[in-house]
Structure 1
Amino acid sequence: MKTPDPHDFLAVDRDLTEEERAIRDTVRAYGAAELLPYVADWFEAGTIPDPRAIAKGLGALGVLGMHLDGYDCAGTNAVSYGLACRELEAIDSGLRSFVSVQGSLAMTAIHRYGSEEQRQEWLPRMAAGDAIGCFGLTEPDSGSDPGSMRTRARRDGSDWVLDGTKMWITNGSVADIAVVWAATEDGIRGFLVPRGAPGYSTNVIHKKLSLRASITSELVLEGVRLPAEAMLPGAEGLKAPLSCLSEARYGIVWGAAGAARACYESALDYARDRVQFGRPIAAFQLTQRKLADMLVDVNHAMLTALQIGRLKDDGLAHHSHISFGKLANVRAAQRVAALARGMHGANGITLEYPVMRHMVNLESVATYEGTEDVHALSLGLALTGTPAFR
């Protein structure tokens, strides 16, 4: 019997279909050739120098809104989308975030809640990477409690007028279209705010210590006047944006597994090559114990992602399943990244190796799309039937 593959110890990928393997391999090869050689420099610079080129490349690859049907979207299953997220986050969380915001947040909101005219106008261009979208829900004083948002939309004749501020918005300063959520007299509604609308401005957030290979912005709306047809007609109440967030969180379940795998593989290679006291550090018991701990976390994360993906494809994934996956896999990835960083010694704090970059990125991944505490409470509600958020 063959010794298990260190890179897929439990043969998780054995359960993938031929099409799923092809998508995995295509995204992995693209990432290795077109993204990985540059991502450390982007991280050090604190930006993506040419986000439109990135969008065009990812659009040509077919991963933008790939899980959506029609409108030039690929229409893949949930597992295939998850595999793409895994391979992209194995390179950098910022790249998976780019795809998540474009496809799981902005495009999903338009696809699910938009009018046919809105879908026809935006989705094909966004799928191709010709237009970039962002998702404006979080505010400076409204993170885990989005229902307390202060952004308001009021009617003025047949128009809507929006005032407010959104914060921590990925792609915000380069987006051609922003899906902005605002409180109205009739509850929370979604609006499409185009780039260049009078009263609409963006500010890039600088001095980040995490998710640096990504553009994060503040959106400012000061009397932004929009026509009636700018509202997403199918989005009523907080349930609409939260359903989009659940789609994005699903990508994080897979993405965190990719970040964990990248850190583990770097540590394994380093331990085999790094010689101390006359032999590779992989020969020492303490190192092997750490590698074994990382191996368990990585494979548990892979199994969790695949199981939730299969549930999602069968229409059986509850939002608490997604909370389980994000809570478990991000926590596992953080453990792996910390062990891997230590195993690299002083080299582990440099951008020559990916571990420190993943380690600090995971601090953002642990925070956005619901903190660990929020997802724990979501699981508590599923278990007890009693909400503990308030």
Structure 2
Amino acid sequence: MPAGRILVVDEDEALRRAITRELAVAGHKVVEATDGTSALYAIERQPFDAVVSDVTMVGFTGVELLRAIRNHDLDLPLVLLTSDPTEETATDALEFGALDYLLKPIELARLARVMERAVVLGRIARNKRTAMETLTGHPIGAGDRAGGESAFDRALHSMWAAFQPVLRTDGTLCGHEALLRTRNPELPTPLAVLAAAEKLGRLPEVGRRMRRMSAQPVADDRDSGLLFVNLHPRDLYDDELFSERAPLTAIAERVVLEITERDAISDLAHVRRRCQALRELGFSLAIDNLGARYAGISAFTALQPDVVKLDMSFVRAVDRDETRQKLVQSVTRHCRDLGMLVLAEGVETEGELHCVLELGCDLVQGFLLAKPGPAFPVASWPRDQAHPSWTSAETH
């Protein structure tokens, strides 16, 4: 049986965890999401072989999730679950290419068989598409370039910067991460915008616009703390980033540039030189998504970062997974020895929060504390959540 990476999306925690256990027993790697928004966030950060999602969720339904996925991935299999089937949702599921539409309650063993089939079919579809694109020399189903340019232009003009708080271990504000958002239905997610920009050779426009939009609110409000800004590795080739007149340069001492390693770094010497130039301008550097895809030793060595961001795949259910705990603890120990801070992103439960603090993370970020929003969302810290070292000190 082929093992896959499967995303499980459901607001019902008991059912979500039951599905996760069943799929894990079958040999799959499983990531959980509580709603459509966090599901899209997960899909943007890591690849999946299949998705299973509830239809009825507050704010972002399973059908809307399916529609958003299809805007940038024609092959990712998605299975929908519902306890309230309607003709409308069934029609929409068919229209947007759901692999299956199953009624709750569902036998978990049957769902595991469906997801095994989903993993196999998804891989076959991707292999076929890759082969056809190799033969024809152009993307299959991508439409004409002019249409793509127009859609990208509309998405670019509808882009806005959302901010998500980053907190210290005592619940005080460290700063905010600027996150790309768009109001354009043709390219509704950051991943869709970046994929289109990459195909069209227009990545620098996205980076420049995001840096400009995120700089001003932070410059106007010193109480907003540090600004964490994502960089695509190709942004390191953009001379505008290094200009003394660039928007971020004026507040460089408050900016942490997060290098998101979407592709393997091929020219480490160049990356080192560019990172040193950014440091000379006053910027701090971070590795984004340590543990996801290629982000590993090569990026760690080249960047010598001030901050290391743990990918949410490490954080998810870390309080219930001894292997994840050992990995996180190993990272925090090594980073502390090197004078680097560790930021745990994607914290969604109090159990995860307590665990990453106990394991030595210095900063935390996630939906539990605050969802991304316009400048600047107010974060909430669980009342009974104290840093483990304080608790120990108070008892002695």
Aligning the two structures, in what range does the TM-score lie when normalised by the shorter sequence?
Answer: under 0.3
Instruction: Report the structure, 1 or 2, having the larger helix content.
Output: 1
TM-score normalised by length of structure 1: 0.26
TM-score normalised by length of structure 2: 0.26
Higher RCO, Cα 8 Å, sep 6+: 1
